[in-house]
């Protein structure tokens, strides 16, 4: 067991963020790491912001990640990635789902959805890995597997074997949905693998 890391999962309520962070935590524990996790999801059921901090290593004493110290940020919604910009640095890998979910103020026409989100990260030099997780999950016939697409994408940056991920996914997902969730994981992993080969 080698390595340590800080991962932030962010998005809005109903996207499976907490399950994704739980599965990743369990996979890291299965790989022999100490893991600490913290969640904030006050207004999750109304489409509010949800965030989970996950830290792993030989021994972890606090679950909270300091500003500028995230190794990976997994954003389940496009503009939510901007909310956690202060946790990133030029080495932070940003996996961002390109899905846009309009908050009530945008849906009612009071405000406009921000444009140029990905361009902003390009300008800042943050390593960026866009994933259309909703499209991938929809193509597999199970939109609820969106979170598994993003866990698969993240798996490229954490020291966990696919077998360990498969073991924890098998233990948490109903058997009838296991195959589609594993397909979603594999597709998400492949999208980022392909981007890394081009880099």
pLDDT tens-place string over residues 147-175 = 999 999 999 999 999 999 999 999 999 99
Each residue of 101-110: pLDDT tens digit? 988 788 888 9
Please report which confidence band the pLDDT of residue 116 belongs to, taking 50, 70 and 90 as the band edges: very high
Length of the chain: 199
What pLDDT shows up at residue 1?
A: 57
Work out the burial of residue 145: count CB atoms within 10 Å of its CB; fewer than 13 is exposed, 13-18 middle, 19 or more buried. Answer: buried
- Which of these, 123, 137, 115, lies nearest to 191 by C-alpha position? 137
| pLDDT value at residue 26 | 96
Residue 151 tokens read as 């866990």
Sign of CA dihedral 70, 19, 144, 188: positive
Backbone angles phi and psi of 10, in degrees to 5: -140, 160
Q: What is the crossing angle of helices 175-198 and 146-154, to 10°?
A: 40
State residue 107's pLDDT score: 84
pLDDT, residue 103, reads 81
Q: Beta strand 34-40 with 49-57: parallel, antiparallel or unpaired?
A: antiparallel
What is the model's pTM? Answer: 0.92
Average model confidence (pLDDT) for the chain? 92
Question: Average of pLDDT values for 73-87?
Answer: 95
């Amino acid at each position: 067991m080698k390595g340590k890391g800080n991962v932030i999962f962010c998005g809005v309520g109903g996207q499976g963020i907490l399950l994704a962070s739980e599965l990743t935590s369990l996979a890291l524990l299965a790989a022999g790491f100490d893991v600490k996790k913290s969640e904030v999801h006050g207004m999750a059921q109304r489409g509010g912001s949800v965030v989970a901090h996950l830290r792993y290593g030989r021994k972890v004493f606090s679950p909270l990640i300091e500003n500028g110290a995230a190794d990976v940020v997994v954003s389940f919604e496009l503009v939510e990635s901007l909310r956690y910009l202060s946790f990133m640095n030029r080495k932070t890998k940003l996996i961002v789902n390109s899905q846009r979910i309009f908050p009530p103020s945008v849906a009612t026409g009071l405000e406009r959805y921000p444009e140029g989100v990905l361009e902003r990260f390009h300008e800042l030099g943050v390593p960026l890995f866009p994933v259309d997780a909703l499209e991938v999950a929809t193509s597999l016939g199970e939109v609820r597997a969106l979170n598994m697409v993003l866990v698969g994408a993240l798996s490229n940056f954490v020291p966990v074997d696919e077998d360990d991920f498969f073991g924890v996914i098998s233990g948490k997902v109903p058997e009838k949905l296991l195959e589609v969730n594993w397909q979603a994981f594999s597709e998400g992993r492949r999208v980022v693998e392909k981007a890394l080969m081009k880099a």
